[in-house]
Amino acid sequence: MSRFGEKSAALVRDLSQSERGTIPQFADETVRGVLDECQEHHRSILRLIDDIKERGTSLEAAAPADAASILVHHQAVLRNKRALLVYMNERMRRVRDLRWEVGAGLPDLVAESLSHAERTFFTEYSALLNKYQGRRHGVGLNVTLDKSPPEDHKVEVRALEDYGEIVTRDGSVELTRNSVHLMWRDECQPLIQEGVLEQL
């Protein structure tokens, strides 16, 4: 058996040292190693309990060394479980934040570093968010536009390129290079993300 908690500590350490806002490659082999270590500790606990029972002693009257051994193995399992939960929870938080930053489309480069379960989580979370934002069953508002509530619903923007005519709820707007417009935030935000407009 490897040193107690070495692999689980490495999982948390590697994730905490990764660049903020990135999702490193899922450490499948290390996660499996931590789970195997938990199983090994569990088997050790069962062997110790069987040894105590074979001697005709109850668990309550077991020798202090046996009780301490059981406790050490049990605490090692709990420590590994906590580390795995920290690792998985932080990765899920980063996947959730990614949906708010890039939208419903998962970039290929990021998708390669996610596990199958994380890709499924992203897809299902995205579907829930889309349903919530929908006009029919939701609030009818794109809540991913701003992380903090906007002060104004309209913003002043400048066109960075000749884009042509677009239709807004206030009518049609001709977006020519360096032209300045006052537009609804939810209508201009996708164009800002594409690099067609910049907010002034």
Q: How far, in Å, are 53, 54, 80, 114, 142 from residue 47 at the CA level?
A: 10, 10, 20, 37, 57
Whether residue 139 is contained in a domain is answered as no
pLDDT tens for 152-197 read 778 899 999 998 888 888 888 889 999 999 988 888 888 887 888 8
Same domain, 174 and 114: no
pLDDT, tens digit, for every residue of 51-107? 888 888 877 778 888 889 999 999 999 999 999 999 999 999 999 988 888 888 888
Range of the domain at 173: 154-199
158 and 128, same domain (yes or no): no
For residues 79 and 123, state if they share a domain.
yes
Based on the domain organization, do 89 and 38 belong to the same domain? yes
Asked if the model's pLDDT at residue 132 lies above 90, the reply is no
Mean pLDDT throughout 121-145? Answer: 81
Q: Check whether 151 has a pLDDT greater than 80.
A: no
The pLDDT of residue 129 is above 60:
yes
Contacts of 29 (CB under 8 A, 6+ apart): none
pTM of the model: 0.70
Residue 142 lies in a domain: no
CATH of the domain at 28: 1.20.58.1030
* Residues 160, 129 share a domain: no
The predicted pLDDT at position 130 comes to 86
Q: Residue 2 has what pLDDT?
A: 52
Q: Is residue 86 part of a domain?
A: yes
- Rounded to whole angstroms, the Cα distance separating 37 from 193 reads 46
Q: Quote the radius of gyration of the chain (alpha carbons, Å).
A: 27
Identify whether 144 is part of a domain: no
145 domain-assigned: no
Counted domains in the chain: 2
Q: Quote the CA–CA distance of 85 and 81 in Å, as a whole number.
A: 6
pLDDT value for 150: 67
